Amino acid sequence: MKKRILLGCLALLILMVATGSAAYAIYRPGFVYRVYIDGEDVGAVASIQGYTNILEDLLNKEEAQVGLNLKFAQEISAQRELQLKPRADEAHVKTALAARVSYSTMGWAIVVNDESLLWTATQEQAQEVLTQVANFFVHDSAKCTLVSTEIVDSVEICPQEVVPEDIWAVDAAVDYILQGREKTETYVVAKGDSLWSVSRSVNMSQTDLKKANPSLAKSNVLKTGQVLNLVVAEPKLNVRTVEQVKSYEAISYSTAYRYTGKRWFYQSSTVTKGVSGKKAVIYKVEYANGVETGRRIVNTEVETQPVTKIIEKGTSRWPSAAAGKFRWPLNTGYITDYFGSRRGTHGGVDIGAPTGTPIYAAAAGTVIISQWGPSYGNYVKIDHGNGYATLYAHASARLVKPGQWVSKGQVIAKAGSTGNSTGPHLHFEVQRNGTRINALQFFKP
């Protein structure tokens, strides 16, 4: 009895094992993980570890490629699922995910006046871009001292989620902000090019070419191989730069006059040459995007004072003494016009004196003319020998006759205003060999 039961149990066991293994061969129930991207089924993986591995692989590969910390832009999830006959295909899931997934990264936006201008990978890079932009217009010169440079617009740096393609490199971001556009267009100067010909061939005015190329402001001459910028920059940010500039400037000299009775009234000469002084002027100069908008003087230091130019002017209208063989033909009056005046046409010296004033022979000699002429009026001419002669014009009366000998100081006529004359005066000439010369050379002022 005991043996039958044992056999029966064994049979049952065998049957169970046999049927059990048959059932197992057909249904082997188990769990899989179904993967969804934004709700779309992309297949199943066998384990949660497999799922995580796929995501990590995708992310690591992309991160290595773009060099940024990324996350998936879509919602990706895995749900455990009981299957009678589990089917998992990790390779398929990976391919399907790779085809659908996109990435985002946390960028740092440069926000200008509440508008995101561009993004950099890190906060430090965004800061660096702004620093470079602010410093771009600073002059690199020994003459300038930077006072301040600042971006005038309201600028913020904010973290924002963006696609990796929107992340800018620092240099490109700086160029973009300064140029106002992404690409610069250039023209390489060829042999024979002129500003005019380039202007025509690139369809840009010479004014704009100069704006885009500050180096052309000083010279219109182009050099072969020179690269011209064809884009007039329209910076995305407004940078205000203040610099202190030291400039050496001339102090102009003044002119002073000194009067002396030791020169004739029409004579003057420079006795001290004027010399400009020198001063160091310190300006505070303001620039808006590199263009000067104002300057004011903050300090002036005089390095050398100017030297005043001194001009000595003569005042003498009456000779102090004779300096030769002639005596002065009048005893009263003063010189009103000099030899060589009226653009060099005046051939004598005019001495103002009242009508009737005696006129004396300047030296002894023979009267060769005593007559009336349309210009001279009543005039007398005396020959003194050795090529010298004197002439006395505009007289009111003539007291000598041609051929008459006169002594030095003899009254020969009376002053008047005859002929081409506007008032009573003596027109006194000295002639040497028929040429009129300055009578005053025979007198001291």
Q: Residues in the site for Zn ion, rule: CB under 5 A?
A: 348, 350, 427
Q: How far is the CB of 258 from Zn ion (least distance, A)?
A: 29
Shortest distance, position 443 Cβ to Zn ion, whole Å: 16
Which C-beta is closer to Zn ion: that of 74 or that of 417? 417
Token pair for 370: 């005593």
CB of 268 to Zn ion, least distance (A): 22
Using the minimum distance from each CB to Zn ion, give the nearer residue, 34 or 427.
Answer: 427
Q: Are 385 and 422 in contact (CB under 8 A)?
A: no
Alpha carbon distance 336, 370 (integer Å): 24
CB of 243 or CB of 350, closer to Zn ion: 350
CB of 218 to Zn ion, least distance (A): 57
Q: How far is the CB of 336 from Zn ion (least distance, A)?
A: 9
Q: How far is the CB of 426 from Zn ion (least distance, A)?
A: 8
Give the nearer residue to Zn ion in terms of CB position, either 338 or 388: 338
Nearest to 348 by CA among 422, 420, 419, 436: 436
Q: How far is the CB of 350 from Zn ion (least distance, A)?
A: 4
By beta-carbon proximity to Zn ion, the closer residue of 86 and 419 is: 419
Q: Between 186 and 375, name the residue whose CB sits nearer to Zn ion.
A: 375
Q: Residue-wise over 266-293: b if at least 16 C-beta within 10 A, else e?
A: bbbeeeeebeeeebeeebbbbbebeeee
Q: Of 278, 292, 177, give the one whose Cα is nearest residue 243.
A: 292
Residue nearest to Zn ion according to CB distances in the complex: 427
- Which is closer to Zn ion, CB of 136 or CB of 338? 338
